[in-house]
Amino acid sequence: DLKKSVQLIVTYPSIMRDANEKIVFQLINTEQNKTFLEQVPHREFQDLSIVYKVIISADKDAVQSSKITNEFAKRLGMSEEQLFKCAAENTRRIFPPVVRSMNDIMREMFARDGMPQEIADMMIAEIPPEQTMWVISNEKGINGAASMLYENELHELAESLESDLYILPSSVHEVIAVSSDMGSPEMLAQMVVEVNMQEVSLDERLSNQVYHYDKDLRKLTLATDTPNKRLDGIVAEPPLVYDAKERSR
């Protein structure tokens, strides 16, 4: 908007001067953002892409930022590799990763609604430990899905649960981790799709896939490869077989 544009112009000199300290990254869906990704430095991570922003201002209530386009990166004199290294440090510092039990979040919600603590504790106690969900985000809850790029947090959680993890992309702001004993990745992916289509606005959807974290290999990979790569319900059609044969001649 106009106010943001004016502020960007006013603060532009300081942004350029201190950019190294203010560059952060976020995760977006690759298939859904192909046109946008042509305009910005990025790197792919599974079915997602890491893109970069520079923070203009941040307080407890709001964050203002500007996306780093190819042109902006050129003015900064920074390669994608340099952007990534800066962002990896800055994002952890400016938006520290947070891992919270869904039980604790529910307990807080019940308390705000006036429910007596002993009743809330009884309800939550009925949830088996292996079915507990863990919300991974950052302290501000903004673009917090990028926190799953910090492997240490995933490893600590997996070690405490003594199992691998499945990571469910709740939105661009957070992901949900569960024990790999929770269910099949295909079942979990179906749940993700249903929530995406019914509860999450298109601009905040991250992915329809589920990810697997191997606690021994300390590696995060795709656990599913469902055909609904796009997030708007449109299925990207694969090339026809005879088209592929024609091109190979």
Residue with tokens 């590696």: 219
Domain total of the chain:
2
pLDDT interval class at 3 (50, 70, 90)? low
Q: Specify whether 69 is located in the same domain as 29.
A: yes
Residue 93 pLDDT more than 60?
yes
Side-chain-facing half-sphere of 208: CA atoms under 13 Å? 20
Within a domain: 231 = no
pLDDT single digits (tens) 156-166? 999 999 999 99
Q: Under a CB-based contact definition with an 8 Å cutoff, are residues 26 and 51 in contact?
A: yes
Residue 6 carries which DSSP code? Answer: H
Q: Specify whether 68 is located in the same domain as 107.
A: no
Q: Specify whether 151 is located in the same domain as 205.
A: yes
Distance of alpha carbon 189 from alpha carbon 207, whole angstroms: 10
Within a domain: 218 = yes
Residue with tokens 């690759």: 30
Average pLDDT over residues 77-99: 96
Q: Specify whether 205 is located in the same domain as 168.
A: yes
Mean pLDDT of the chain: 87
pLDDT interval class at 1 (50, 70, 90)? low
Within a domain: 198 = yes
Within a domain: 151 = yes
Q: Which domain holds residue 137?
A: 97-222
Distance of alpha carbon 183 from alpha carbon 143, whole angstroms: 27
Within a domain: 232 = no
First to last CA, the chain: 51
Q: Under a CB-based contact definition with an 8 Å cutoff, are residues 99 and 153 in contact?
A: yes
Using a 10 angstrom Cβ sphere, with 0-12 exposed, 13-18 middle and 19 or more buried, the burial of residue 194 is exposed
Longest dimension (CA), the chain: 72
Q: Which residues pair with 217 in a beta bridge?
A: none
Residue 241 pLDDT more than 60?
no
**Predicted model pTM:** 0.83
Q: Specify whether 198 is located in the same domain as 109.
A: yes
Q: Specify whether 143 is located in the same domain as 60.
A: no
pLDDT single digits (tens) 29-41? 999 999 999 999 9
Average pLDDT over residues 23-51: 97
Within a domain: 204 = yes
